[in-house]
Structure 1
């Protein structure tokens, strides 16, 4: 078992790569937290690097393949398990064992530590829970005399009524953030990409087909902002903030990025019922991982545990869009924000992973989300390609990935 006490080596230097999990303040806050660690641990100096989401999958695979991976990083929900299969991730079993011995594991949201277990190994440690939430502009619905929709049929009717005079019911994007519309809709309708045996059911599951046809119907109605297929997530948010559309799917605290004059006009839509009464949305347990290429696993473990216990400021100052995996952080992270608390109480319980029916995670999930096939599917739907045709193309590519 690794020892996590004092480290004798003089000034070990570690590389820590962190995804951009919030607005610019997030990066500044994360850098300050690393500086605090460095001042408290003169024998271990951590160099912080923020990694953008554009081409994130290629960034890590290239680093691993070239022998230039960091010592530690945060990453997308399934990144660690996929890189573990590439023999690039160092299991955290010793770290988790010590956390269980001192009771620290009990601070994490139920099931989140075990969610990150694969091949009988803990491949990473949870830090943030990410989920997609439907938002709406209160003033636009009120002006049209529309109540917040409770189900898909009401949503479609509202979106159609709101699409007038250069405004639209829904705005989306054609990037990774846009693919969350597809995943969220499938899960909201009780569908899923896989069955209990990890077999692909993309086009064979009628619930999936219904979900994609529902999205396609919004496009056919003229209710989807026509620029959506080419929009980035930043473009989508800007359009929603401008009032170009009434509904948008995004991270739990996106309203914090809006100007003060419209922040209070952004409301959370209660979880909707799909065509069969199901509720659900896409959900990830984002995590921090250690790489096999590290020369200093003991020192990296010291930083990993310290970072896990001292990252509350990522929410209170950095405005991270995640929900803390540590339950002791939630009260301070929420800090009287009723919308944030609503997400914790009403959306987190209905969150589902991309694996859905399969209990656990597996390596292909990272490539499925990062390779681009879901983005292509999303763009096709928003461009009016028939749902069954688009799903069949997506499944063919997903089967190649699964093999």
Structure 2
């Protein structure tokens, strides 16, 4: 009997431990690939850090490739297997909210406003997450496109950094020889960003002021003609239409092209060649305007979660502790938190600090010419029709001919 009594407390402890383990909440976190391989590795480590920091919640991390990312989420939502929380492209939360798939984070925002921490978000970024009277996500990164150049390529050809479209083409022609091209790009999403950036740069865009598709508008079409001229003037690497972003970046890092449009952290991916990479000032277009495309990437909670309170707790922790995704994971884009932007990783990085100072003030979203935000933007962002368009432009096909199918497809999306 005495031995039994000795064993009983231990059994009770074990039962209590088992009960505690069973009570631990399990969350699934999906995260797109926001940088090189080091990004997803550091993100996984950050999730591990959260799991070790407390015993109530266990988060499982899944890295979601950009290939078919839109279909991945839509399929998961439709099948009832959406994650509890995910990062997402600039308009992902808005569209999925319109599908009744997003759990608003109003209570978390109210909590952060009350304790003052919401002030750390860069001006306009938190409000950009508001749709239909609700905060549908928290902002975490400002992604934009900037024009990078190889200092050594320009110097070898005796060229200065261009400041407008005409100078850009002239410099590109001057450096194109002996296997080196003025421009290298790709036929995937990164190449597509040339379309959005050039149209905004020229004062145009996907839509007119009435939110009607406007790819064929005067300023938008002029921008597409400008892009098509890269091929017709033979300053574009002819393989660009079939290149992936990794192919184009590899060519640029190897010094085989003078110009490359990409994210703020591009120079950091050049390895030993980083000091040879510069950032061109925002170009002035033929209409006399400046501008580039940008997105406020977000992190959202899904309505299918069985644990909204715990998910919001993790969301706040992640938002406050993710600086390492840049400083160690080499994430692209610029943090939405001002305190992160002030870290020496950014302020002492010549290329990134130049982007923050010169490009961030002129960034505009895809919906700039229409105003506001609306659910169709996420489908437009994830649909492949603009990739098809840029591939045709990189092949030198006339913009006036190839833009019509894209305009028609954009109209179809807006009418859904």
2:116 aligns with 103
- Correspondence list, 1:3-402, <5 A: 10-203=23-216, 205-260=217-272, 262-332=273-343, 333-402=345-414
SS of residue in 2 equivalent to 1:264: helix
- Give TM-score scaled by structure 2 length: 0.93
SS of residue in 1 equivalent to 2:177: coil
What's the CA shift for 1:8? Answer: 12
SS of residue in 2 equivalent to 1:295: coil
Q: What are the superposed Cα offsets for residues 331-385 of structure 1, whole Å, 9 maximum, x if unpaired?
A: 2141511111111111010111000123321111111111101101101111122
1:4 aligns with none
Q: Any stretches of 5+ residues in structure 2 without a counterpart?
A: 1-19
Contact 1:117 1:361 in 2 (8 A): no
Contact 2:229 2:396 in 1 (8 A): no
SS of residue in 1 equivalent to 2:410: helix
Structure with greater helix share of residues: 2
Q: CA–CA distance in 2 between the matches of 1:25 and 1:149?
A: 33
Q: CA–CA distance in 2 between the matches of 1:201 and 1:26?
A: 36
2:12 aligns with none
Instruction: Tell me which stretches of 4 or more aligned residues in structure 1 moved more than 6 Å.
Output: none
Q: CA–CA distance in 2 between the matches of 1:188 and 1:135?
A: 16
Q: CA–CA distance in 2 between the matches of 1:316 and 1:114?
A: 26
Tell me how many residue pairs correspond in the alignment.
Answer: 395
Contact 1:240 1:247 in 2 (8 A): yes
What's the CA shift for 1:200? Answer: 1.6
Q: CA–CA distance in 1 between the matches of 2:161 and 2:333?
A: 25
Q: Which moved more, 1:162-171 or 1:344-353?
A: 162-171
What's the CA shift for 1:150? Answer: 0.5
Q: What are the superposed Cα offsets for residues 173-226 of structure 1, whole Å, 9 maximum, x if unpaired?
A: 0001110011110011111111233222121x2100110111111211111100
Q: CA–CA distance in 1 between the matches of 2:175 and 2:214?
A: 34
RMSD of aligned C-alpha atoms? 1.4
Contact 2:90 2:296 in 1 (8 A): yes
- Give TM-score scaled by structure 1 length: 0.96
Question: Who wins on radius of gyration, i.e. which is larger?
Answer: 2
Contact 2:267 2:351 in 1 (8 A): no
Contact 2:184 2:251 in 1 (8 A): yes
What's the CA shift for 1:32? Answer: 1.7
SS of residue in 2 equivalent to 1:112: coil
